[in-house]
Amino acid sequence: MSSSATASSVPVERTGIETIVDEAIAAAPDCLRRRVILPAIDWAAVSPAKVALLLSTLAQSRLTVPRWLSKLLLVAGHALPEDLERTLSPGLVALNRINGASASQKRGELSGMLPALCADDQLEADVATVLVQKFAALGWEEEAVRLALAQRHRAPVILKRAGKAVTAHVDHLPEVRLRLIGTSTTQTLADEFKPAFAAIGWRADVTQADFGTLLANLMRPPEGADAHVVLLDLDGFAPQDWRRSASDASDLLAERVNHLAAALREFTAHSQAPLLINTIPVPAAPAAGFLDRSHALGARRAVDLINRHILEAAEQSKQIIVIDADQALASLAVRDQSDAKLWYYGRIAYSADAVRLLASSFAEAWGLLKRGPAKVLAVDFDNTLWGGVYGDDGVEALACGEDFPGNAFRALQAECLRLRQQGMLLVALSKNNPDAITAFQRHAGMLLQADDFAATAINWEPKPENIRKIAAELNLGLDSFVFLDDSPHEREAMRRLCPEVSVPEMPADPAERPLWLRRLTCTWPLRLTAEDEARAVLYATRREAESAKASAANFEDYLKGLEQHLAVSHVNTATLPRVVQMHERTNQFNLTTLRSTEADISALIQSEAQGLALVGRVRDKFGDHGLVIAATVAIDGSEAAVQSLLMSCRVIGREVERAFLGALIDDLKRRGVTRVSGDYIATRKNAMVKDFYASCGWQPAGGDGERTSWVFDIGAMEPPRSQFVTLDWEA
């Protein structure tokens, strides 16, 4: 980024700049000490000969090239002498190798460095971006894609630098069909799913449910999804109405939450697919100051309540995985987790950075579900479970215990015990004489004991061979092994010879390892105890037995509890603009997709005998949904024809449409109409209403191709009604 910015800066006299550069190089030692001028030079425009001159000038003054200057030179495309590499970060070392002569022959070497670069959380955004760009330019597509996907959080633009290779790579991955439902706009998350799932080896094919249809979608989950994802946010899920009293608001929230919990349970009765849902993160600002977490009107208290119910519902099902949003977003300050203007602009609840992190968490949850948590932790001894080398230093000298620095190693042993308690098997994999196992007993600071290990391979054989033997012994696949070793060479050998084994990049600093291990997703359990497991099975069988009748009853209870009111009125000058807008925008619940204009509708309703335009407003106990359903009908004596009938997806699945059609027929009857006809015209998006007329008791009356026609005999047939919708006529 910096290179492109400077490379193209204001066109000042070339010779002038060149003079300054020459002077700066001549005065390099002084410039370096004061850190002036050199940082401002566009090194991409300086010849390699001059850079060499700069380096030799510095060497003559016995000055080492500082990291900042190395970085500037490397990002600008220059190569540095190899002896400078020891001062460089891994990213810069890789860049130096690529900038150097015969880069194209170093693919193997750079591939070996790749896992470390991918896992490097210190890799600077510009360095990562340049690396990906160079990989892509050399035609090393796999390396470019892997690094770009791994480092996309640090530098979002990096994926674009990898170019078409990303698309090609993603095309070859197995597909996962995701159904995304949200209480806010889900598009930004849908977009971010592509790289997030690609990073764990899946091609995400995302369909998004309509805004506002969360409960309906959970209770009646559509077929054909491998996983359902629910994106929750506080304002979308539980908007505040400050006219309500505290107790009223509290009741309403409790009810919303109960509906959600019931819908989650309902979901598991209808679908076998996993459901991934996030908790709501800490609110961006308190609604009740210091009382926010305790008072009924507190935002944080609402969040706590909602989350607790989600977690309880999830506990009863193996299918539901809850993403702890506070953990997922922990690297972002709360104020950076949302961007207010995006909320007002497009009801986007989370900032770009937050969406990226959430997408990764959802993807990792999916990956963990598919792969299953790892079962075996294979650990090295020297400089992993203890500090020092058993064979060289002797057992007394090993660092492990209550005091610094042995306490960091002891803490890693504690983490191994944690994983053991969570059901993983521990395996010792050490290049040592077999008596190294006695160190656990002979050294007072050790937390682990020899019998904590389910199997051991302590010898001088290659570790990949040992791990294969142990896998056979334990009768487990290599893909259920995680291998922890401080040596990059051992890790590299394991990756090459046993690619199925998970070989994470353990941090070089022992102090970072215990928490790093906690963050290592492949070791995360999906369920903790046998009782959990048994309980889940119990729930599942009980649910299956009851699901059919219970779910119907639950859904009816839900609809009844909504206390829906449909206020129907004739379209007038006040409601006409909204009705026209609905004609323009509605695609799914739209029988004919007729894009009527203001003039069309005005002309139609000029006289009562000629036509009819109805609009319905829906209100329920949670609030007013506004004008959501409309129809236009042409009347000719005793015959009428529905021209358009459409509804906003916000209220789909609640029988509003039945009640509305009933009201429409009533109105036509009052006008002396005895027979009404209507068409369904298929489009790419309106399949959901294909059988709408049939479900309301209309008779088929032929059709052709995209069009099916239906009729309703007003004298002889009973108009559709809904017991869940109270109908009111408005003037």
Partner 1 sequence: MDALAPTALSYPDLAAIFADIFQYTEPLTAETSADDIATWDSLQHIALIRTLEMTYSIRLSMDEMMEIRSVGDIENVLRRHGV
**Binding-site ranges for partner 1 (CB under 8 A):** 1, 4-5, 7-9, 11, 156-157, 160, 187-188, 191, 340-342, 344-346, 348, 352
- Distance, CA of 141 to chain centre: 25
168 vs 472, beta carbon nearer partner 1: 168
Provide the token pair at 259: 């509906």
Instruction: Find the shortest distance in angstroms from Cβ 158 to partner 1.
Output: 11
284 vs 497, beta carbon nearer partner 1: 284
Are the CB atoms for 631 and 653 separated by under 8 Å? no
Pairing relation of β-strands 611-620 and 623-636? antiparallel
Q: Which amino acid is at 107?
A: R
Instruction: Find the shortest distance in angstroms from Cβ 351 to partner 1.
Output: 8
11 vs 715, beta carbon nearer partner 1: 11
Instruction: Find the shortest distance in angstroms from Cβ 156 to partner 1.
Output: 8
187 vs 422, beta carbon nearer partner 1: 187
Instruction: Find the shortest distance in angstroms from Cβ 348 to partner 1.
Output: 7
Instruction: Find the shortest distance in angstroms from Cβ 342 to partner 1.
Output: 6
Q: How many whole angstroms separate alpha carbon 222 and alpha carbon 241?
A: 32
Q: DSSP letter at 507?
A: -
Q: How many whole angstroms separate alpha carbon 263 and alpha carbon 220?
A: 9
The position carrying tokens 């990213």 is: 91
Are the CB atoms for 376 and 420 separated by under 8 Å? no
346 vs 499, beta carbon nearer partner 1: 346
Instruction: Find the shortest distance in angstroms from Cβ 360 to partner 1.
Output: 18
9 vs 294, beta carbon nearer partner 1: 9
Contacts made by residues 605-608, CB under 8 angstroms, sequence distance 24+: 605/570, 605/571, 608/671
Instruction: Find the shortest distance in angstroms from Cβ 110 to partner 1.
Output: 23
160 vs 519, beta carbon nearer partner 1: 160
Instruction: Find the shortest distance in angstroms from Cβ 90 to partner 1.
Output: 25
355 vs 629, beta carbon nearer partner 1: 355
Of the candidates 262, 312, 272, the residue with the CA atom closest to the CA atom of residue 551:
262
Instruction: Find the shortest distance in angstroms from Cβ 582 to partner 1.
Output: 19
126 vs 382, beta carbon nearer partner 1: 126
Q: DSSP letter at 287?
A: S
39 vs 700, beta carbon nearer partner 1: 39
Q: How many whole angstroms separate alpha carbon 556 and alpha carbon 562?
A: 10
Instruction: Find the shortest distance in angstroms from Cβ 1 to partner 1.
Output: 7
Phi and psi angles of residue 567, each rounded to the nearest 5 degrees, phi first: -100, 115
Instruction: Find the shortest distance in angstroms from Cβ 152 to partner 1.
Output: 14
**DSSP H or E stretch at residue 277:** strand 275-278
9 vs 104, beta carbon nearer partner 1: 9
Phi and psi angles of residue 379, each rounded to the nearest 5 degrees, phi first: -120, 145
CA distances from 235 to 210, 240, 297 (A): 17, 7, 14
Q: How many whole angstroms separate alpha carbon 370 and alpha carbon 517?
A: 21
- Indicate the burial class of 41 (C-beta count within 10 angstroms; 0-12, 13-18, 19 or more): buried
346 vs 434, beta carbon nearer partner 1: 346
The position carrying tokens 């239906």 is: 710
Q: How many whole angstroms separate alpha carbon 55 and alpha carbon 152?
A: 33
Q: DSSP letter at 386?
A: B
Residue 298: other Cβ atoms inside 10 A = 21
Q: Which residues contact 102 (CB under 8 A, 6 or more apart)?
A: none
156 vs 462, beta carbon nearer partner 1: 156
136 vs 348, beta carbon nearer partner 1: 348
Instruction: Find the shortest distance in angstroms from Cβ 157 to partner 1.
Output: 6
Instruction: Find the shortest distance in angstroms from Cβ 159 to partner 1.
Output: 10
2 vs 250, beta carbon nearer partner 1: 2
**DSSP H or E stretch at residue 473:** helix 463-474
Instruction: Find the shortest distance in angstroms from Cβ 5 to partner 1.
Output: 6
Instruction: Find the shortest distance in angstroms from Cβ 8 to partner 1.
Output: 4
Instruction: Find the shortest distance in angstroms from Cβ 4 to partner 1.
Output: 6
Instruction: Find the shortest distance in angstroms from Cβ 181 to partner 1.
Output: 18
Provide the token pair at 661: 């059609």
Are the CB atoms for 284 and 239 separated by under 8 Å? no
Are the CB atoms for 281 and 326 separated by under 8 Å? yes
Q: How many whole angstroms separate alpha carbon 380 and alpha carbon 373?
A: 21
Q: Which amino acid is at 405?
A: P
Are the CB atoms for 530 and 510 separated by under 8 Å? no
The position carrying tokens 């008791």 is: 697
Are the CB atoms for 234 and 183 separated by under 8 Å? no
Are the CB atoms for 303 and 283 separated by under 8 Å? yes
Of the candidates 13, 10, 100, 3, the residue with the CA atom closest to the CA atom of residue 45:
3
Q: Which amino acid is at 475?
A: N
Are the CB atoms for 552 and 602 separated by under 8 Å? no
189 vs 471, beta carbon nearer partner 1: 189
Are the CB atoms for 93 and 113 separated by under 8 Å? yes
Of the candidates 109, 76, 73, the residue with the CA atom closest to the CA atom of residue 94:
109
24 vs 231, beta carbon nearer partner 1: 231
CA distances from 615 to 38, 211, 582, 642 (A): 70, 21, 10, 14
- Indicate the burial class of 430 (C-beta count within 10 angstroms; 0-12, 13-18, 19 or more): buried
Instruction: Find the shortest distance in angstroms from Cβ 341 to partner 1.
Output: 4
190 vs 227, beta carbon nearer partner 1: 190
